[in-house]
Amino acid sequence: MTQSPATPLPAPKERRRLRETRSLSQADAATRLGVSRATVRSWETGRSAPRGRMREAYTRLLLADPAAARAEVTTPQKETGSEPVGAAAARGERAARVKKRSLRTGGRSALHPADEPLTEEHLPEDGLSGLSEPSLTPAQAFDALYAFCAPALVRQAYLLTGRRELARESVERAFQQAWYRWPEVAVDRDPAGWVRATAYEYALSPWHRLRPRHRHPEAPPAEAADRALLDALLELPPVYRRTLVLYDGVGLGLPETAAETEASTPAAANRVLHAREAVATKLPELASPEDLHWRLAELASAERLRAAKPRTVRWYGERRAQQWTRAAIAFTVLLIGVTLLTLGTAPDHYEAPLAPPETIHGLPPKGAPGPLSAAQLKLRARLRSQEMNGPERLVPENR
């Protein structure tokens, strides 16, 4: 079902103004529509647009009466005939269980960036595009981005790898690269997406299997349901696993998921469908995408996964960059030294190579010294009797 021409969807810049006119935050709008805050942010920045019934609901929310919109958000919604009461109760129970597990992580959401005072103070409401404002230093902007994204990224990396240490290491390496290339990341349209893509690439690198500590599996989750879901995820091919986590876990739209996985939109859709079928084959109770989303959030929030401090990540990033710089300088100096040594010792003209030695056959054996014979003595006396200037000269006769 498409949007009727009578109520067109406002422009991206107008969507934020209409939401603020109705005294709704992005979190309120996301709760009202049943989507994540990141999805509402992408709609308002123009990176994506809702479709179908979600487009109609979003348009009604923006164009509705301000008082009615506030009442819908602040008052509990009544049960309607479109959804059974048991399904709503089950969803509420799952949400409460996820929230209870998230208390150990400081109230952060399992797979979405957190809404914290630090984030709201340093980041604009329309996303992370304002990190390069003159009012923030690079370190403050980086710390704000890290506090906004790191906790959720660690949990997403855990769903991709099933390893706690590798998940933390992936996120730290991604932010270290972001700090090293901060002038480029700060002006990116989606700095959080840049860091997420880098963390996913590092987490899914096939070279980790060669590391000694990664040859043995880590301790599985405590609950049997979590172990079964994690095993089903790890049996998926890495690209299918990444697509499923982005689409059903993080809540990105299909075009954004396809762009981040470097695939076409139909290919991303096929990957999501095949991944869902593979998970539903092993866990039939997760055949519904909504149930799968809640179970992914439960699995991510069940583990005590904490990220390092942003100052520590920046320090290690700078130290790593210094080490690589020193190594590059040392290698360059060594290369220059070897080149100069080669130029000094190399020959400056062509020298023909020596022929290989050959054995000569047929020569008489060399005689050893001994007493002279009578003929030799006669010859020696004759030679001594001749003049010292040599033998007599032959003079031609005149005829």
What pLDDT was estimated at residue 187?
A: 87
DSSP letter string, 156-193: HHHHHHS-HHHHHHHHHHHHHHHHHTHHHHHTSS-HHH
- What pLDDT, on a 0 to 100 scale, did the predictor assign at position 347? 83
Element of type H or E holding 327: helix 310-345
Summary mean pLDDT of the chain:
77
Residue 229, both tokens: 């879901």
Average pLDDT over residues 170-195: 89
Token pair belonging to 22: 């109705």
What is the mean pLDDT of the segment spanning 150-173? Answer: 90
Q: What's the average model confidence in pLDDT over 239-267? A: 90
3-state secondary structure string across 236-267: CCHHHHHHHHHHHHHCCCHHHHHHHCCCCHHH
pTM over 0.75: no
Residue 214 has pLDDT above 90, yes or no: no
Of residues 378 and 395, the one with the higher pLDDT is 378
The answer, yes or no, to whether residue 119 has pLDDT greater than 50, is no
The distance of Cα 70 from the centroid of its chain, to the nearest Å, equals 41
From the number of C-beta atoms within 10 Å of its C-beta (0-12, 13-18, 19+), residue 130 rates as middle
pLDDT digits (tens, 9 = 90+) for 26-53: 888 888 887 888 888 888 887 788 877 7
CATH architecture assigned to 1-75: Orthogonal Bundle (1.10)
Average pLDDT on 280-307 reads 84
**Distance between CA atoms of residues 86 and 197, nearest Å:** 38
Q: Give the mean pLDDT of 8-21.
A: 83
Domain spans, the chain: 1-75, 115-338
Work out the pLDDT band at 388, boundaries 50, 70, 90: low
* Helix (H) or strand (E) run with residue 289 in it: helix 289-302
Question: How big is the chain by its Cα radius of gyration, in Å?
Answer: 41
Spacing of C-alpha 87 from chain mean position: 38
More confident residue, 297 or 128: 297
